[in-house]
Amino acid sequence: MGDFTTDGRRLALLSAIAVALGILAALVAFVLLRLIGLITNVAFFSRFATNLASPDYGVRGLWGVLVPVVGGLVVGLIARYGSDKIRGHGIPEAIQSILERDSHIQARVAFFKPIASAVTIGTGGPFGAEGPIIMTGGALGSLIAQYFNMSSLERRTLLVAGAAGGMSATFGAPISSVFLAVELLLFEWRPRSFIPVAVAAVVAFAMRTLIMGNDPIFGAPRLHTLGWQMLPWALLVGVAAGLGSGILTKLVYVVEDAYHKLPIHWMWWPAIGGLAVGIGGLFDARALGVGYPTIRALVTGNVVLEAALAIIVVKTAIWILSLSSGTSGGVLAPLLLIGGALGALLSPIIPGHDAAIWAAIGMAAMLGGTMRAPFTATIFAMETTHAWGLITPVFVGCIGAMVVTVLLVQRSILTEKIARRGTHVAREYSVHPLEGTAVSQIMVPREQAVTVRAEDRLADVAPAFAAMAPPYNHNTYPVVDEGGRVVGIVHHNELVARAGDRESGAMRISDVMRAPVIVHRERRVRTAVERMAKTSRHSVVVVDERGEWVGYLSQGDVLRAWRRAIQGEEKRVRMRSIRRGVLNAPPVR
């Protein structure tokens, strides 16, 4: 009867494994970022180095156009002959593994996904490293869980813990990584899953500080606090980001549908997307690659308006054409870049004209609106910029963007891909309606329950029950002994079947009854339903603190209670009037 249901020993085991996952995720993030840097330096600068360089200062001309095409060809080959699960931006694939495969991810995905993503991004692909790292971290969590005797929910927890660790290590953002897990991946809010995920994210962050430093990835701590008068402007930026987000989501899947109409194998699509990337780089090379330096320039106010407009146009075009081709790369960084450029572009019409502030708000709003994850986007912006004074306007912008996308776009860019594969993802979390109702509130009291005695002969009672329908929508009846104690249950159909059976004439109720399923009267109705499901029974016997039976609960009673809960959500009444006072007073309990 506590606030949460948690097994301490299982929680300790999962948390211990999460520590290892956090360390592994940080190492994977470090290696992947270095691999991206190596491929970028070799492809664009003809040098052997592993620093995360921006392609915009590299080679130009025909070779600059061909580099992304070669990268797309390599990714297509890996996807076809390695694993087609590496296609996409990571998070939808993790969600689908959770929903459809009992959180099982193949080992080859953990191997090929980071390689394909490093090739894509290193050759100029306009993606972030976070999506592949999230998928790779999730694959590691799933693989480790497969070596233990674990339930599907526990494997999901470790998958998500690895994913959160990967994101935390990439951006140095442990809190928003946990929020991402809750808002997108866990499909629940329980300590049994939340705590191991938090452990992995924090450990990954700590490990990151050891091997990559502790500076914020988009550091802009000098951004000052805005007064409440600026909140409407933050809402305006959020609405604009929401509209942009909706357009982006629609365009991605319009272009993806166009790829499916091409008369060539999907293996070649990433090369076509790479060609679009290479051509886009001729117009604005800052749109190539992970884009972290450009995001940093936006939130520090070092990008002029003309450049911001060029970034929006070019980045959007090459990102959509490349992402839709089925290549491998993350969506977070492109959304941040496009949203930051949008905020900077709107800054001239906002009092103060501070492009850096509105770029920070715009990037968070674009992320929050597109992913329908406002808490993740808000805390992410704070953790990556350290501009904590902007937390309220950033949150307002994220909410504004989410409102627009929820109203205008049926599914997010993440869930749309899964829906197209035949799986619907419910994103609304709430306490189950049966969790708020006690068994004692809806049970049939002992005085009203229809019972049979264990010593009664079937021949005596079966005809009477065969002639009537089960009362209260009950299909089973409590069986009591001479003292009135419940000793079992008997099914109505069992009695009916025995009514005309001469061979059963000497049998008693005790010969055909089953053991009762017991539930305490103060337990939630959901607990009773869970026990019915586990035992394949249609009813439970209700007992009090002394163990004496006080009532009876069947599936019909549960459905009626659930129906009342639905009516409480849908039925609308006016309870007060200015002239007449109370119209419909709530019942007194």
- What average pLDDT is seen over the chain? 82
Using only C-alpha atoms, the chain has a radius of gyration, in whole angstroms, of 30
CB 433 within 8 A of CB 564: no
Which CATH number is 236's domain given? Answer: 1.10.3080.10
pLDDT digits (tens, 9 = 90+) for 287-330: 888 888 888 888 888 877 888 888 889 989 998 998 888 887 77
CB 35 within 8 A of CB 114: yes
Task: Output 463 or 173, whichever has higher pLDDT.
Answer: 173
User: Looking at the structure, do residues 293 and 320 belong to the same domain, yes or no?
Assistant: yes
pLDDT digits (tens, 9 = 90+) for 239-297: 999 999 888 888 888 898 899 898 999 899 989 998 998 888 888 888 888 888 888 88
User: Looking at the structure, do residues 59 and 87 belong to the same domain, yes or no?
Assistant: yes
Q: Check residue 146 and give its pLDDT.
A: 83
CB 337 within 8 A of CB 317: no
pLDDT digits (tens, 9 = 90+) for 188-242: 788 888 899 999 999 999 999 998 888 888 877 677 777 888 899 999 999 999 9
Helix (H) or strand (E) holding 30: helix 8-45
User: Looking at the structure, do residues 413 and 439 belong to the same domain, yes or no?
Assistant: no
Residue 173 lies in a domain: yes
Residue 504 lies in a domain: yes
Residue 221 lies in a domain: no
Token duo for residue 392 = 């309220």
The region of weakest confidence among 28-37, 324-333, 399-408 is 324-333
Average pLDDT over residues 140-145: 85
Of 358, 393, 419, the domain-final residue: 419
Q: Check residue 353 and give its pLDDT.
A: 80
Token duo for residue 105 = 């991810």
User: Looking at the structure, do residues 405 and 465 belong to the same domain, yes or no?
Assistant: no
Residue 100 lies in a domain: yes
Between CA 38 and CA 31 the distance in angstroms is: 10
Residue 270 lies in a domain: no
Q: Given pLDDT bands bounded at 50, 70 and 90, which one contains residue 472?
A: very low
Residue 344 lies in a domain: yes
User: Looking at the structure, do residues 389 and 440 belong to the same domain, yes or no?
Assistant: no
User: Looking at the structure, do residues 205 and 232 belong to the same domain, yes or no?
Assistant: no
Q: Check residue 528 and give its pLDDT.
A: 86
Residue 3 lies in a domain: no
User: Looking at the structure, do residues 392 and 501 belong to the same domain, yes or no?
Assistant: no
Q: What is the DSSP string of 185-204?
A: ISSS--HHHHHHHHHHHHHH
User: Looking at the structure, do residues 365 and 467 belong to the same domain, yes or no?
Assistant: no
Between CA 337 and CA 421 the distance in angstroms is: 29
Which CATH number is 473's domain given? Answer: 3.10.580.10
Average pLDDT over residues 3-18: 82
pLDDT digits (tens, 9 = 90+) for 498-510: 666 666 667 777 8
Q: Check residue 579 and give its pLDDT.
A: 67
Q: Given pLDDT bands bounded at 50, 70 and 90, which one contains residue 183?
A: confident
Residue type, 164: A
pLDDT digits (tens, 9 = 90+) for 476-498: 788 888 877 888 888 877 777 76
Q: Check residue 589 and give its pLDDT.
A: 44
User: Looking at the structure, do residues 111 and 199 belong to the same domain, yes or no?
Assistant: yes
pLDDT higher than 90, residue 399? yes
Residue of 327, 294, 324 whose CA lies nearest to 311: 294
CB 459 within 8 A of CB 511: no
User: Looking at the structure, do residues 193 and 243 belong to the same domain, yes or no?
Assistant: no
Q: What is the DSSP string of 117-144?
A: HHHHHHTT-S-BSHHHHHHHHHHHHHHH
pLDDT higher than 80, residue 130? no
Query: Please, is 205 exposed, middle or buried when counting C-beta atoms within 10 Å of its C-beta (0-12, 13-18, 19+)?
Result: buried
**573 φ, ψ to 5°?**
-135, 150
Residue 582 lies in a domain: no
pLDDT digits (tens, 9 = 90+) for 360-391: 999 999 999 988 889 999 999 999 988 888 89
Q: Given pLDDT bands bounded at 50, 70 and 90, which one contains residue 586?
A: low
Residue of 297, 301, 382, 298 whose CA lies nearest to 340: 298
Between CA 589 and CA 584 the distance in angstroms is: 15
User: Looking at the structure, do residues 409 and 437 belong to the same domain, yes or no?
Assistant: no
Task: Output 335 or 488, whichever has higher pLDDT.
Answer: 335
pLDDT higher than 50, residue 530? yes
pLDDT digits (tens, 9 = 90+) for 531-570: 888 888 888 888 888 878 888 888 888 887 788 777 766 6
Domain that holds residue 378: 228-265+275-419
User: Looking at the structure, do residues 512 and 546 belong to the same domain, yes or no?
Assistant: yes
Task: Give the percent of the chain with pLDDT over 90.
Answer: 18
Average pLDDT over residues 453-464: 76
Q: What's the domain count of the chain?
A: 3
Q: Check residue 578 and give its pLDDT.
A: 67
